[in-house]
Chain A
Amino acid sequence: EIVLTQSPGTLSLSPGERATLSCRASQSVRSNYLAWYLQRPGQAPRLLIYGAASRAAGIPDRFSGSGSGTDFTLTISGLEPADFGVYYCQQYGISPGTFGQGTKLEIK
């Protein structure tokens, strides 16, 4: 099983700032099958990025994914209030896939 480790555990930033979230895999993720989700309190996760760098439908270009192999990054430029919540990465290169433990992005 591929273990995903997300860092930092908590990130405190102000609206308008840039956020950089990391996801490291215990082994290489096949075909860069890596997704990112945002979960706001009381809501279901929402898909942001799949295939490491492809934005899901309706996701603004403030969100960008990058990386390959074992190291992946989600960058959010110009944070808006709706961007705060818990971010999860997920690898689906080896089914059924596994999730990271999450990074909480909180308002500073």
Chain B
Amino acid sequence: EVFLMQSGGGVVQPGGSLRLSCGASGFTFDDYAMHWVRQVPGKGLEWVSFVGGEGDRTYYADSVKGRFTISRDNGKNSLELQMNSLTTEDSALYFCARDGLRWGPHYFFDHWGQGSLVTVSS
């Protein structure tokens, strides 16, 4: 069974940093691109970033480019999102998500983590 377990998140002041992690199990991790998607509570969904299966390709939403860094460790089946220079606009529930098909990215998501809440507030 595919399982994505997230950790990290919390409350941080504007300008601060946070790191989110996502541990994967139940599938061949490096066969799949992985993504981060966020959701302001009660609002819609926004794709944030992806990393290719080998970790050599990354892509970011314009809203986070230059501030967020996605990475993966295939030896540990883990995914991370380093978030720097956070603003109140970044406050959201962040989900890690598996790409819907092997050898992506295809940009739809067939398994999701449970979510990590990030609150940016002074």
Contact = CB atoms under 8 A, between A and B. Distances in A.
A90 B44 CA distance: 11
Interface stretch (A18-26, A44-52, A66-74, A76-84): A44-52
Contact of A96 (B44, B61, B95, B110): B61
Given A45-B45, A50-B100, A88-B44, A97 B110 contact: no
B107 to A, nearest CB: 4
Size class of the contact patch on chain B: 20 to 34
Interface stretch (B12-20, B74-82, B83-91, B111-119): B111-119
Contacts of A47: 100, 108-111
Contact of B108 (A43, A92, A101): A92
B108 A90 contact: yes
A46 B100 contact: no
Prevailing SS type, chain A contact patch: loop
A102 B39 CA distance: 12
A37 B110 CA distance: 9
Nearest to A92: B107
Contacts of A105: none
A63 interface: no
A99 B110 contact: no
B105 A101 contact: no
Contacts of B108: 33, 35, 47, 50, 90, 92, 97
A25 to B, nearest CB: 15
A57 B110 contact: yes
B73 interface: no
B103 interface: no
- Report, nearest first, the 7 A-B pairs whose CB atoms are least far apart: A44-B112, A92-B107, A35-B108, A97-B107, A99-B45, A96-B47, A47-B110
Interface of B: 44-47, 50, 59, 61, 95, 100, 105-115
5 contacts: A37-B109, A43-B114, A90-B45, A99-B46, A102-B44
